[in-house]
Each structure stands twice: as C-alpha cells, then as structure tokens.
C-alpha cells in the first residue's frame, strides 16, 4: 500500500496540477458524500481543520450538535482520472471527528476501525477480497435509468454479443490509474450484468475500495450514456448482483486459515470462523443485505444463497471455501450484496468470525449436495436454517443479535434500524402491479 506524508500530498498536488480536493466520507447507509475544496485550503485539509455540518447527513448528528471535522486518511489520496486532465480533481477519504477531538460514533469507517482493533488485539490482520457484480442499463431520452439493455450476452461472453465490454475496459483502466490491481473482469450470467474483481486488501482498504469502485463504475457508465446499478435484483426472473466476500485472517504475515495437516487443509481457526459467521449471519443480514430488494435476490434458482450451510466447493451453500490453499486460503461468504455499507458489513463479518474463534465454535457438517434441490423436510433433517426472507425479518434478527448490535454501536444501530423500519413500512403499504394483476379481476 502507498503511504503518504503531508509533504508528499502537497508536492503531488502541485506537480500534478491538482486544483480540487474532494473530502469523502459515507453516511450510515454507505452513501459516499463529499465536500470539495480548492488547493488554497490544503493547509487546513492537512491540519484536520475542515468542518462539515453533519445535521443533514443520514444517521449523523442532531441539529444542535452538528459541527464535525474531517480528518483525511492521507493514504487514500487519489486523482480522479475521469475528471479534466488540467486543474485536476483528487480525493481523500476522511474519518469524521467531534469538535472535542474524539472519533464520531456515527462514522461507519470508525465502526470498522474498532472491529479491526479488536482483531489486532488478538494478533490478527483481516484481509478482504470482494467480487463486485452490477448491471449496465440504457437511459431514456431524459437521461433517466431504465431496466432495458441491448445486451443479450451471458456468462463470459464477449463482443459483439457483449455490449458492455468497452465500458468494463474503461472502468478497469481508470481504476488502475487510481491504484487498483484489477484481477479479472467479465460478463456475468444475466443480460446486462458484469463483474470486475480487484485484488484483496486489508479490510479498511477493501471497504474504501468498494465505495471508490461504486463511484467509478456509476460515473464512467454515465459518461457513456448508460446507467450502472448495484441494486441487488433489478430484474425479476434473472440473476441478481452479489458481492461475494472473500475473507482471511493473517498472523505475523501468515494466513492462519491454512493448516497443511488439517481436515481439507483448513485450520481450527478457519472452522471456528466459519461457525461464527454461520451463527451470526441472520443477525447481520440487515447490514450485508440492506434493502427491501436485497431479499428478492436471496431466492432459489439464481446462484444466490438462501440456506445456512458451508461447503468446500458447492456453490449452493452460503459459505464456500475456494480451492486455493497456502497464503490464498479464504472463506467466501456469498450473501452480501453490493448495495451494502461495506464498512459496516465487513465489521459485522469480522466480529462474527472472531466470536466463533473466541468461543471455539465448530461448524455443522459440510453440505456437498445441491441444497436448492432438497425438500424442506430434507433441509430440516440436515439442520439447515434459512437466511431472513425479507427486510423485516432481517431487522428482527439484528435486534436479537447483541454481538452485531454491539459492533455497530448504539448510535448507528438506532439510526440504522429506525431508517430500515421506515423503508419496510413504505414498501409494505404500497399497492404493486403484481397485486393489481392478481386480484383486481378475480375479487
């Protein structure tokens, strides 16, 4: 990872003709926000003196305690390659602080840092590699998004069937300019659906990368007259978009999930981590799968998980252990979707896994059969539980999981849950086209 000092930033800003600096942070639902300043304010930026009014940011402060300070993480400095090439624009991701110099408890990046500090106290570094899926859709005459695509391609197809290849290419090139190591990109299963994978990183950087990735993909698609969406299930009847999350713990530079003598060459810690994630995955679903729409993806038949099981290979299981071993040994959790707040989602996954390790949990037996083909009775016999079926159930599961509640902290927990309850209420009181078609004539 690049590390920058204040002097480096001042030098690069001048050498590279940077005029604007966007100071970024996210609200509790993972929306990237920013305030832009010009280079004339560089001293203030680097002395943590830029102030924002948090009262209008979702889940931040109340009106009478709204002043907050942005402390840029210098190592996140990057020039935005899609902005003009003279008088350039750069960004810095910031931590949010209170006027008294304490970290703001409503800052999701702080939640992740706290979870990481806990891992560090146990001697662990946490690495995360996300697999980001998204759709590219056409826009209408007014430039508004539609759910139409001219693309009829499927998994790994290429041009001329794949109509999104040129946009993926541009996204990859621009992200590389920003310091990403792009490992693979391809057309996904559904028409209009794509995936770009970038190299794993320590968890904080991985979460920063996810918000940067979403910004880049949406911006570059827009420049091409298309609309990119990370909505988990934009079209009924075809695959939705996931954010499979590959996780590993390192101690003294060594991947501790790997044990050459262990069952499947996995260590005791790896099994306990899996068990911990399985124990808390229902409680953290409202975080990893945050939208009403998220639960329309988590249904049988579309390569998205629904049932709580793990397997070394079986893609119908919620947790898969990819074949790689040694330093690349990892646990892949398949439920998170790309609409999540990555800081909170990664913090929740880590805490769940650490809880498994601390309590020495053991996971249930591996499931090697296709779980989607099992009847409810068979699943019961195997003791296979399900993910929450909708956002309401997910909120209830979160309320009943004190470990995940504690990870979020009281401030974010309360704002998050009340926001999500409002979202559910808004949804459940709507009359949908499906209802009209189904009931209007018959009743």
State the SS3 of 306-342: CECCEECCCCCCCEECCCCCHHHCCEEECCCCCCCCH
Distance (Å, whole) CA 203 – CA 350 = 9
Distance (Å, whole) CA 338 – CA 131 = 9
Distance (Å, whole) CA 116 – CA 337 = 21
Distance (Å, whole) CA 282 – CA 358 = 19
Distance (Å, whole) CA 221 – CA 192 = 12
Q: Which partner from the list ligand GLU, Mg ion, none does 297 bind, CB cut-off 5 to 8 Å by kind? A: ligand GLU
Question: What is the Cβ-side half-sphere exposure of residue 418, based on CA atoms within 13 angstroms?
Answer: 7
Which C-beta is closer to ligand GLU: that of 277 or that of 361? 277
Residue 436 CB, nearest distance to ligand GLU (Å)? 28
CA–chain centroid gap for 101, Å, is 28
Residue pair 87/19 in contact by the 8 Å Cβ criterion: yes
Residue 442 CB, nearest distance to ligand GLU (Å)? 33
Q: Which partner from the list Mg ion, ligand GLU, none does 355 bind, CB cut-off 5 to 8 Å by kind? A: none
Which C-beta is closer to ligand GLU: that of 322 or that of 409? 322
Range in contact with ligand GLU (rule: CB under 6 A) among 170-178, 202-210, 286-294, 297-305: 297-305
Helix (H, G, I), strand (E, B) or coil at 402: helix
Distance (Å, whole) CA 321 – CA 338 = 20
Is 334 considered catalytic here?
Answer: yes
Residue from the set 22, 29, 97, 133 that interacts with ligand GLU by CB under 6 A: 133
> Which residue has the CB atom at the shortest distance from ligand GLU?
242
Could you say which residues in the range 226-245 bind ligand GLU, by CB under 6 A?
239-242
How far is residue 12 from each of residues 104, 116, 290, 439, measured CA to CA in Å?
A: 29, 30, 38, 64
| Contact mark string toward ligand GLU, 317..356, x via CB under 6 A | -----------------x----------------------
Which C-beta is closer to ligand GLU: that of 334 or that of 379? 334
Which C-beta is closer to ligand GLU: that of 300 or that of 409? 300
Decide if residue 297 touches ligand GLU (CB under 6 A): yes
Is 332 considered catalytic here?
Answer: yes
Q: Which partner from the list ligand GLU, Mg ion, none does 240 bind, CB cut-off 5 to 8 Å by kind? A: ligand GLU
Is 188 considered catalytic here?
Answer: yes
Active site residues: 53, 131, 133, 188, 195, 244, 315, 332, 334
Residues that bind ligand GLU in the complex, under the rule CB under 6 A = 133, 239-242, 297, 303-304, 315, 334
């Amino acid at each position: 990872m690049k590390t920058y000092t204040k002097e480096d930033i001042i030098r690069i800003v001048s050498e590279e003709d940077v005029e604007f600096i966007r100071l970024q942070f996210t609200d509790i639902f993972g929306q990237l926000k920013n305030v832009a300043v010009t280079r004339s304010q560089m001293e203030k930026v680097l002395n943590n003196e830029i102030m924002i009014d948090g009262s209008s940011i979702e889940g931040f402060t109340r009106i009478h305690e709204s002043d907050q300070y942005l402390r840029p993480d210098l190592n996140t400095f990057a020039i935005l390659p899609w902005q003009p090439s003279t008088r350039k624009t750069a960004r810095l991701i910031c931590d949010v602080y209170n006027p008294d110099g304490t970290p703001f408890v409503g800052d999701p990046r702080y939640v992740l840092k706290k979870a990481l500090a806990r891992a560090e106290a146990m001697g662990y570094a946490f690495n995360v590699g996300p697999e980001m899926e998204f759709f590219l859709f056409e826009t209408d005459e007014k430039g508004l998004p539609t759910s139409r695509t001219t693309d009829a391609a499927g998994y790994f197809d290429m041009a001329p069937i794949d109509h999104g290849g040129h946009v993926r290419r541009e996204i990859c090139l621009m992200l590389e300019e920003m310091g990403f190591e792009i490992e693979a990109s391809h057309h996904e299963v559904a028409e209009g659906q794509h995936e770009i994978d970038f190299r794993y990183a320590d968890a904080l950087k991985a979460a920063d990368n996810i918000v940067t990735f979403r910004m880049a993909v949406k911006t570059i698609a827009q420049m091409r007259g298309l609309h990119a969406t990370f909505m988990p299930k934009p079209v009924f009847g075809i695959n939705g978009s996931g954010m499979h999350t590959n996780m590993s713990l390192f101690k003294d530079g060594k991947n501790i999930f790997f044990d050459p003598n262990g069952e499947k060459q996995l260590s005791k810690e790896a099994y306990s981590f899996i068990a911990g994630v399985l124990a808390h995955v229902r409680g953290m679903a409202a975080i990893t799968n945050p939208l009403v729409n998220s639960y329309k993806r988590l249904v049988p038949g579309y390569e998205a998980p629904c049932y709580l099981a793990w397997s070394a290979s079986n893609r119908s299981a919620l947790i898969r252990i990819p074949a790689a071993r040694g330093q690349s040994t990892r646990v892949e959790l398949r439920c998170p979707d790309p609409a999540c707040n990555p800081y909170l989602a990664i913090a929740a996954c880590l805490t769940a896994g650490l809880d498994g390790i601390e309590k020495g949990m053991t996971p249930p037996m591996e499931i090697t059969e296709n779980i989607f083909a099992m009847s409810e009775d068979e699943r019961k016999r195997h003791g296979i539980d399900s993910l929450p079926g909708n956002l309401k159930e997910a909120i209830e599961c979160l309320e009943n999981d004190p470990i995940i509640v504690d990870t979020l902290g009281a401030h974010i927990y309360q704002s998050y849950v009340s926001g999500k309850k409002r979202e559910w209420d808004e949804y459940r009181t709507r009359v949908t086209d499906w209802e009209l078609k189904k009931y209007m004539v018959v009743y």
